[in-house]
Amino acid sequence: MSEWVDVIAASALAIGENIVVDVDGVDVAVFNLDGEFYAIEDVCTHDGGEIASGIVEGSEIVCPRHGARFCIKTGKVECPPAYEDVVTFLVRVNGDRIEVMSS
């Protein structure tokens, strides 16, 4: 059953930062892009490695190993070698708390 999971204070995640949190056993990268929060699964669909430590360019995350690019807002793959989108999660701010919808 899906439910909202409290992950971090919104004030603790500065613009341009991200954090990886556990949401029901799934590593989820939560991003603050210009004051809006987004969450994607912390996995590159090219080889299954983590992507949250990659460079953020605009609204894209660049995989630190092979350079695949994903849109943080939509999960869409933007550049090979990945060809499958990354999973996204619903995010909301409740008071000062960021919450992510579990899958």
Check which CATH number belongs to the domain holding 66 and give it. 2.102.10.10
Write out pLDDT tens, residues 88-101.
999 999 999 999 99
Q: Is 71 helix (H, G, I), strand (E, B) or coil?
A: strand
Structural domain boundaries enclosing 37: 4-101
Write out pLDDT tens, residues 5-60.
999 999 999 999 999 999 999 999 999 999 999 999 999 999 999 999 999 999 99
Contacts of 96 (CB under 8 A, 6+ apart): 9, 10, 11
Longest CA pairwise span in the chain (Å): 39
- The number of distinct structural domains making up the chain is 1
pTM above threshold 0.85 = yes
